[in-house]
Amino acid sequence: MSEKRRFQRYNITVSVSYMNTDDTKTTDAQSKNISSSGICLSSIQPMKLKSTVKLTFSMESQTIHVLGRVIWSEQVLPRLFDNGIEFLSMSEEHLKVIEKYIKTQ
């Protein structure tokens, strides 16, 4: 797979809760990497392509809320999937927290 990313990814592990916007069930995942434009999540189930998800995670002692779209999902182990999510919407304050945090890594 050739790299087409506009922003560098940083290998940062944080616990993430996500929920499809058409569902009320929250699922836990772990980040593998993050940038100011997206995140890769590892989860025990694949995420539906093109679905819109609400993400919640903590960084710099702040709770970050992001709306994202699943742009890829692949199985990496029998019960482990990596899922690429493009950020669609977040507050300017939360974007600044992410950018500040990744600059210190």
Assess if residue 99 is contained within a domain.
yes
Q: Give the per-residue pLDDT at 89.
A: 94
Helix, strand, or coil here: 70? strand
Assess if residue 6 is contained within a domain.
no
Contacts by residues 5-13 (CB-CB < 8 Å, ≥ 24 positions apart): 5/35, 5/37, 6/37, 7/35, 7/36, 7/37, 7/38, 8/35, 9/33, 9/34, 9/35, 9/40, 10/34, 10/35, 10/102, 10/105, 11/105, 12/101, 12/102, 12/105
Q: Give the per-residue pLDDT at 4.
A: 56
Assess if residue 5 is contained within a domain.
no
Tell me the pLDDT of the chain (105 aa) as tens digits: 445 556 678 899 999 999 998 888 999 999 999 998 999 999 999 999 999 999 999 998 999 999 999 999 999 999 999 999 999 999 999 999 999 988 887
Assess if residue 63 is contained within a domain.
yes
Assess if residue 9 is contained within a domain.
no
Q: How many domains does the chain have?
A: 1
Q: Give the per-residue pLDDT at 103.
A: 85
pTM of the model: 0.87
Q: Give the domain extent around 77.
A: 15-103
Assess if residue 88 is contained within a domain.
yes
Q: What is the CATH number of the domain that holds 89?
A: 2.40.10.220
Q: Give the per-residue pLDDT at 57.
A: 97
Assess if residue 4 is contained within a domain.
no
Assess if residue 10 is contained within a domain.
no
Q: Give the per-residue pLDDT at 69.
A: 98
